[in-house]
Structure 1
Amino acid sequence: MIAISVNSSMANGLVSPNDMKRGSLLLKTTEDGKMVEAIQLATNVEIDINGPIARTKVTQRFRNPSNGWVEGTYVFPLPETSAVDTLKMQIGDRFIEGVIKPKEEARKIYDDAKREGKKASLVEQLRPNLFTNSVANIGPQEIVVVQIEYQETVRQSNGLFSLRFPMVAAPRYNPKPRIVESVNFENDEQWGTVKDPVPDREEITSPVLNPEKQAKSNPVSLNVNLASGFPIGEIKSPFHNIVTDYKSKDQVKVSLSDQVVPADRDFELNWKAEPKQSPRVALFKETIGQDDYFLAFVTPPKLAQLAQDEIPTPNREVIFVIDNSGSMAGPSMRQAKESLLLALAKLQNQDRFNVIRFDDTYEVLFPSALEANTGNLDIAKRFVSSLEADGGTEMLPALEAALGDQTPHDKSTLRQIIFLTDGAIGNEKQMFDTIVKKRGRSRIFTVGIGSAPNSHFMNRASSYGKGTFTHIGSEQQVRSRMNELFTKLETPVLTDLKADWPTRNQPEENNVEMSPSQLPDLYSGEPVVILAKTKTATQPTKETLDISGQFANQPWTIKLPLKSAQQGTGIGKLWGRRKITEIEGQYFQADNWDVLDQDILNTAMKYGLISKMTSLVAVDITPTRPADKDYSSQKIALNLPAGWDFEKVFGPDYASEPEPQKEASVSPLYSLAASDAPLESPTFAKAKSIPLPATATTAELKMILGILLLLATVLFMLVSRKMLTNGHRP
């Protein structure tokens, strides 16, 4: 899984283990006994939160510890809703500002600079939450600093405000390409086409360090400057130890207690307002040229404020889908099983349910959804308790089975699909396409399990499935997060949402674009989050934004005075990011993909954002690598996410030698000290999909036994015949 092209004639960059005087990650080359030191990476994160808007600076320091010239490529995650708009590259005392370009043009600029010996950086989007940063021509013993900036909104649910910073891109299971054969009977021609569910499998696959054989790498320091806009009552980080320095009641600086941590799990920060101080409404505005951009947060009243008899309890058909693939081994599997057992215990007698489990196969517990009586629940609980994590992550067949609705026209029952997984797949588009086209009356609720879930898949799947996303990162969170989810499952409270915007008096200039264009139903504790672009109204028809809907079967309306909106920065870019997301959602409902690609390109260029059609590129105009010096290209190795089992993910035979490659290939070794023998690690010479763990069968043994029995029978017959010939009974 590590793709490194090394020119073996580059003698200045090659070393042997005995040459090393410090701990270092060494990469094997095609020259016997010679290796090259891997690029070292350190990251600093600075997050500024102002009300519901967060601005993050990610500074990556690429250090070349070797004596050769190198190019480094780092695959890293960012929040799936982030609007990435800034790239800066520092070389010594000089700063080079990156520019947004169409993706192919940016790649050409970077490749030309790399070939000409110029330092360059290229940031590309592989998924909305997965990016690569490539840095060319890092000289011997040199450090190149690259800084990326992005904007996002704070998440809010049930009065809890939270922000996640993903630190590690988890390995993803990539289903194998399928060959589709076609036959023309008229001329007896036959041909085949390859249909790949993950066409960019090479790009999204990175080398991963084995924690049992290699020390963790990629250290991260992180600071958060939180200005909440209201008195803070409680602040926590569930996965890291933190230090808080209160500047005032609504301002606090948060730092990591350990100052530096390995990048092996997501960072999450949660905060609450003091009792009765939590804001229910927030409205921000940014004016750019002739356009106003609005960001509105509105939280409906809590259910506790209503009489319980006003909230109808609908009959439900609940389909639970649980991931028991190899990436779920360890704490993740325990969290998923505990979560599902809690969910089963919450079912009511009038509910119907079923359970589906999947790895590289799938299994449906009952032929159809059954009543949630004691007997059926006991069978389900035993089934769930017996699950073990192993194998690949073939998620699509399990999803299709869950969407198989035997009573699609039943309007009296809520059909809900609860999907418990870490989402470690590369074929997200295939999953989204299936959800959009086959969802029917079902609603999909994703539960992200583990230290580094694929939040892009989780959020989009629940959005297309008209449900919600819940993340459980530790066993301590299972009960509280699942109870929150149960409340949402049982009481969808805000429906038929509409937003009425003020307009200009001239009808032809009535131009209001809102995202989401159709407001979804909301569940208990969820805010309405609206981004909108409007023409600056000098003579508006009215002064308020009116949001209305049905709340617990009663009409509900709230009016927001637009003149009271607070000034915000970056809202225009957040609007651009949201608009791109909505365009991407149209790929599964239309055939005009070229038009949609152009819409994304135009939007990304207008707002200066990275997207699937655009990249950020920065080039130093001064060549630094001498023309006679060659270079190597390395993918920087990632840590295995905390709690993952390396062998369960990559298989017990993953350390075997690779097939011969046309290009020189390398595999990582970790040298503990100059006198220590290097420890072998899995070979990552060729980027490929995560292999399924080899599953032994008894077929070969049975064949051998069969042959032995056959030989024994023949031998017995020969001996018997000889004895009869000599007049003896056998």
Structure 2
Amino acid sequence: MLFTGKEDVCIKVTSVPASLVPYRLSFSAQVSSSRPVSKVESNYPLDALQYLNTDQTKASVKMAAGHKFDRDIELLIYYKDAHQPTVVVEAGQASAKPGSLMGDPVVMLSLYPEFPQAVMSSVASCGEFVFLLDRSGSMAGSRIKSARDTLLLLLKSLPIGCYFNIYSFGSSYEHIFPKSVEYNEKTMEEALNEVKRMGGDLGRTEILIPLEHIYSQPCISSQPKQLFVFTDGEVENTKEVLNLVKKNSGFHRCFSFGIGEGASSALINGLAKEGGGHAQFITGTDRMQPKVMQSLHFALHPNVLDISVKWDLPKGVSVTALSPPITALFHGQRSLVYAQLTGQSSEAAEGCVTVKYSLAGHPSQNQVHFSLKPAEDTGLTLHRLAARTRIRSLEMEERESRGEQEEGLKKKVVELSVQSGVSSAFTAFIAVNKGDGEVIQGPLVVRNVPTPRRTAGCMLMQCRQSIHPVMNDMMGLRSPGSALFCPPLRNFSNDSFSVPPPRDPLLQLVSLQKASGCWVLDPALAAALGKTSEEVEKPKPASVNQEVWASILALIWLHGFKMDAQEEWELLAMKAVSWLRAQNALCVTECVEAGNALLGCSVQKEALGL
């Protein structure tokens, strides 16, 4: 029996010794791309990569023998020249009506831009950053805690010289400052103290009024507005909200974050689309911080303007866009464009697509020539992806329409959904018995699939890990090797116990950084580094001041122990490096060597950016 949560539910799991499992599993995959495949990595051991053609655009990979399938399979596929635009043409379905999306060829343009290093290395030191946080009742608990931790990282990562403010909303709204203020140590600490007190206690999700207030504030000269919106719900006036954002899109960018499965995709995607920003969704066990910090990276770099996509095709062939126009491009962020090709051409015919945009005042152009001969044996993957994109666009239009126009759009969505086999807001999949064509009635039938048995001790550990740790002794769990008993469990909340959870060591260190980018040598820093004050102070070179030494130690710790979370602390580390360079400190090499010895690391000075 396996305990599954707080409710009194136990599910039977058929478990047998591994040697008696009546089946075997293997895994192999074929990779096909318009770009050469450079390598494939996995969290499981792999056999050697086998190339299937001379240009290495097709390859086969197989899992090595002996794997247990005891965790999800992850494959990382690396391509050569990945940042170059690519175009793929897919043949239509032979049985589909010519002129329909599924009957005609579909073309997909993939953009994965890599902007010049000169632009990317000059992080903007200006901007007005406005953070709008949902504090409705559904945000209470772990969501509001994660949001508070995220605001800590954001505030520590802002550049000196910018302006900022924090709004929160529910049935009403609040703001920390009457208007956006200059970012410095005093205003940062004041904001952080207010953030610590924020809870999910402001009622319903009503975002329109605080947005109207934000947009009513006068713009700050030479400080482009960057709006970050965090919400876990949906609103009744999505159309009015998006129209407001669109109306003000000329002087700001909007980055939106949907928290949890209940966040409205129409609202989150619409905010980013109309605001020329980027949308992120945080669901399941996703961490909010890396996704938000990625968007802050985007916000700190110049806006890409005047984006256009132009298709040049042979006579007799026309193109119909299936994707909405691209409103934003970001470094290292993929954008996809789908289109339907209509008409006839020779197999040797070629097409061309040109993408133009302006970055930091400099015009840029990418041009791709491609064969109109469709790819074979693709399983209509591109058609269904294109249909999904088109369906989502039509659904958005339907929400904003009324009367006959609304009914017409709904009819288009249903037709396209049925034709492509892609679900929509107005269609669903129904199980049908292929023998008699009848809809299957009644509840689903559960089939027990034998799985390898874990040791009783492991099963006991799994059961215990799914329960609050303080409850282990209350559960009446018996010793390893005996039957596992799952008695009814009362509803306990974390508030029933007074032991606070330990703070994330990364956030503990980040919270000690000053707005200027430096750290101070004090007992709190020593504790964050896992050392005593004496251990931290003793190896400091005599000619180096305490803040320089403290800041180098913090950077070594980040690079030595938290590289897996680099995207979360990268910006604040850059700020620390800038501060250190401005000090013209002596003995930096000696400090790095002493810091490595103290912390047990081997981080090179060059890796720190020094």
> Structure 2 length as normaliser, TM-score?
0.56
* Conservation of the 8 A alpha-carbon contact between 1:432 and 1:460: no
Instruction: Give the distance between the partners of 2:389 and 2:210, measured in 1 at CA.
Output: 28
Q: Which residue of 2 aligns with 1:295?
A: 108
Instruction: Give the distance between the partners of 1:254 and 1:413, measured in 2 at CA.
Output: 53
* Conservation of the 8 A alpha-carbon contact between 2:356 and 2:366: yes
Pairwise CA distance, 1:607: 2.6
Q: Which residue of 1 aligns with 2:76?
A: 271
Pairwise CA distance, 1:532: 0.5
Pairwise CA distance, 1:334: 4.2
Residue deviations 1:309-348, cap 9 Å, x none? 7x8x484222112345565566544432222112112333
More strand as a share of residues: 1
Question: 1:603 is matched with which residue: 407, 412, 416?
Answer: 416
Give the secondary-structure state (helix, strand or coil) at the position aligned to 2:333.
coil
Q: Does 1:522 align with 2:323?
A: no
Return closer, same or farther for 1:468/1:536 CA change in 2, 3 Å cut-off: same
* Conservation of the 8 A alpha-carbon contact between 2:349 and 2:371: no
Return closer, same or farther for 1:323/1:598 CA change in 2, 3 Å cut-off: same
Q: Which residue of 2 aligns with 1:720?
A: none
Q: Which residue of 1 aligns with 2:130?
A: 319
Question: 1:378 is matched with which residue: 186, 189, 196?
Answer: 189
Pairwise CA distance, 1:603: 2.3
Instruction: Give the distance between the partners of 2:205 and 2:73, measured in 1 at CA.
Output: 27
Instruction: Give the distance between the partners of 1:676 and 1:497, measured in 2 at CA.
Output: 60
Q: Which residue of 1 aligns with 2:366?
A: 558
Q: Which residue of 2 aligns with 1:283?
A: 87
Instruction: Give the distance between the partners of 1:355 and 1:532, measured in 2 at CA.
Output: 41
Matches within 5 A, 1:14-53: none
Q: Which amino acid aligns with 1:342?
A: L
* Conservation of the 8 A alpha-carbon contact between 1:337 and 1:384: yes
Q: Which amino acid aligns with 1:420?
A: F
Return closer, same or farther for 1:211/1:443 CA change in 2, 3 Å cut-off: farther
Matches within 5 A, 1:644-659: none
Q: Which residue of 2 aligns with 1:174?
A: none
* Conservation of the 8 A alpha-carbon contact between 2:169 and 2:210: no
Q: Which residue of 2 aligns with 1:575?
A: 386
Greater RCO, CA 8 A, separation 6+: 1
* Conservation of the 8 A alpha-carbon contact between 2:6 and 2:491: no
Pairwise CA distance, 1:574: 1.8
Pairwise CA distance, 1:233: 5.3
Q: Which residue of 2 aligns with 1:485?
A: 295
Instruction: Give the distance between the partners of 1:287 and 1:604, measured in 2 at CA.
Output: 19
Return closer, same or farther for 1:678/1:478 CA change in 2, 3 Å cut-off: closer
Q: Which amino acid aligns with 2:384?
A: K
Instruction: Give the distance between the partners of 2:76 and 2:277, measured in 1 at CA.
Output: 24
Pairwise CA distance, 1:397: 3.2
Q: Which amino acid aligns with 1:273?
A: Y
Return closer, same or farther for 1:616/1:212 CA change in 2, 3 Å cut-off: closer
In percent, how many aligned pairs have the same letter? 17
Corresponding residue pairs, total = 421
Q: Does 1:447 align with 2:257?
A: yes
Matches within 5 A, 1:182-581: 210-211=5-6, 214=9, 225=29, 227=31, 229=33, 230-231=36-37, 235=41, 242-246=43-47, 248=49, 251-252=60-61, 259=69, 271=76, 273=78, 278-288=82-92, 289=98, 291-304=104-117, 306=119, 313=124, 315-324=126-135, 328=139, 332-358=143-169, 362-388=173-199, 390-391=200-201, 394-397=204-207, 400-401=210-211, 404-407=214-217, 413-421=223-231, 423=232, 425=233, 427=234, 430-431=237-238, 433-439=240-246, 440-441=248-249, 442-448=252-258, 458-470=268-280, 480-503=290-313, 505=315, 511-538=318-345, 543-563=351-371, 567=375, 568=378, 569-581=380-392
* Conservation of the 8 A alpha-carbon contact between 1:283 and 1:295: yes
Pairwise CA distance, 1:258: 7.6
Residue deviations 1:382-426, cap 9 Å, x none? 1123334x45873323774476312477795432221234x2x3x
Return closer, same or farther for 1:324/1:224 CA change in 2, 3 Å cut-off: farther
* Conservation of the 8 A alpha-carbon contact between 2:318 and 2:342: yes
Structure 2 residues without counterparts, runs of 5 or longer: 15-24, 51-58, 93-97, 446-465, 469-481, 496-610
Q: Which amino acid aligns with 1:243?
A: Y
Q: Which amino acid aligns with 1:490?
A: L
Return closer, same or farther for 1:454/1:590 CA change in 2, 3 Å cut-off: closer
Pairwise CA distance, 1:433: 4.7
Q: Which amino acid aligns with 1:545?
A: V
Pairwise CA distance, 1:600: 1.4
Instruction: Give the distance between the partners of 1:490 and 1:411, measured in 2 at CA.
Output: 17
Return closer, same or farther for 1:580/1:632 CA change in 2, 3 Å cut-off: closer
Instruction: Give the distance between the partners of 1:365 and 1:408, measured in 2 at CA.
Output: 17
Pairwise CA distance, 1:466: 2.5
Return closer, same or farther for 1:226/1:403 CA change in 2, 3 Å cut-off: farther
More helix as a share of residues: 2
Instruction: Give the distance between the partners of 1:624 and 1:584, measured in 2 at CA.
Output: 30
Give the secondary-structure state (helix, strand or coil) at the position aligned to 1:405.
helix
Instruction: Give the distance between the partners of 2:119 and 2:324, measured in 1 at CA.
Output: 29
Pairwise CA distance, 1:615: 2.8
* Conservation of the 8 A alpha-carbon contact between 2:179 and 2:217: no
Pairwise CA distance, 1:370: 2.3
Q: Which residue of 2 aligns with 1:181?
A: none
Q: Which amino acid aligns with 1:586?
A: E
Question: 2:427 is matched with which residue: 595, 609, 614?
Answer: 614
Matches within 5 A, 1:42-191: none
Q: Which residue of 2 aligns with 1:95?
A: none
Q: Which amino acid aligns with 2:352?
A: T
Q: Which amino acid aligns with 1:532?
A: A
* Conservation of the 8 A alpha-carbon contact between 1:244 and 1:252: no
Give the secondary-structure state (helix, strand or coil) at the position aligned to 2:156.
helix
Instruction: Give the distance between the partners of 2:139 and 2:73, measured in 1 at CA.
Output: 20
